[in-house]
Structure 1
């Protein structure tokens, strides 16, 4: 019984899968659902936004490369349009909308019943009750599909902001974030907890050695966090040189 339907199943119309591909039809139906709920209006259209890691929460049976290929295929077919309306310049999270006119033109070339196909491609209001994907967990913030409860590795920009908040020199943030992303994506050994521990040691080193000035953020995040910081044990008595009286 464990593999029979006891949770919300994904649905897809065979006619849509025939027209654009099975994986593409599944992703497109999900985007369509969230667009009905979105209140993000840019350049006269509704948009949603999400990262590939967050998309994988909704499609856990696919790898991130598969999701990326599927979305790229939808872009090449012209059925979805992508953009970037993020407030932070370093945030590359993609925004998505559906080109419903393109889908309408494709529907005329399909051999399936035209009325059935138009019901999903042109009348979004009816689909909210019919699709079962509306019970999948939301995974983005604001009014679309992100929430602040995402797991730590889902959104690198959010993790970086938490670390940057503690960094003592606010110069070079854009480059610092670029170095941070490269390091997090290439390093399987190190974690954000490791970086925070190194930052704590660095700040202690600065406090003890007042003559030091905190490095530009782009410098420290470009590998200088791996420097060794020796912080004196303040509970130990100072070392006295032989032959001198203090």
Structure 2
């Protein structure tokens, strides 16, 4: 029989692993837990003046040691991925200061400037989104109140005198006429179409394919799982506050893109708030514009790749032609004029032995502005090419000869 747990095993009297809620909002829960613990060890090292390198305090551990000693409530792979993510985002810096060459244990320190930059940006974005959600909630509640006031058959009574409470959530009205219960926010409509939509139509719609429960069932089917205790209220709140045609367009897009999480839906809602999208048509236009932009970018990339490939091919062909021309070129030496004085220009650039061995036995010819070094054999040509050609060409330039220096072998 297994030993039963005690309270002391679940609620510690000593110092537990703690997280800062703001940090968790900025980085995520797992990231905040690991980040806080690394900061804890850095602070200890500061107090003990330990592991100070490159003007920073560091702490070190292998991933396995971090997991076993600090984060055994997370999986080893989760610890590894989280450390990699924090490092990739620039929040953690890592180096290897180990004395043994085979020891690859990473040392970590925190980039506090980057931390402040990231958190300030994240918190600011969350405040903006929260404000937009609140405005959307108020707008939807006012639209519902306005429509209810204009109906003779249905008269809502706001329980708190205000359709929006202090927490920014829409307060559900208690209907005096209990024959109808509208679970979906009345969509905003233009003056032109408002006279064509009756409360009976909206009530019937709430029981059909555009009802909140229908939207919920459809999205759960798309992502392949039920919405949870935290995500379901959020989903229902969005259904109340946004037009049915917008929700419908988002669900169609979810099916097309094979959405798998509630967060996908939340991200699309946030996109709509950020871009001021309120209708299904606007959402569809935005998606089509995005896809067209992606298509154009892809086409440009393909075109640039093809142009680069064609350019490379053209360069390769040109090189092959040039090489072929050089290999197949035969210079007509019948019109060449021998210029023995060129040999005398080269006396000072080589030793007497080298001059007699590699310069004297050969001929110098001139064709137009070019100088032909006519070698007795291929061995001589190879030696001249490797050892003397640059020096010979330099002497020719110094003496006003600007043409090419061409090495040829005597033909039998």
- TM-score bin (small chain): 0.3 to 0.5
Higher helix share: 2
- Report which structure shows greater RCO (CA 8 Å, sep ≥6): 1
User: TM-score if structure 2 supplies the norm length?
Assistant: 0.26
TM-score, structure 1 length as denominator? Answer: 0.43
Between structure 1 and structure 2, the one with the greater Rg is 2
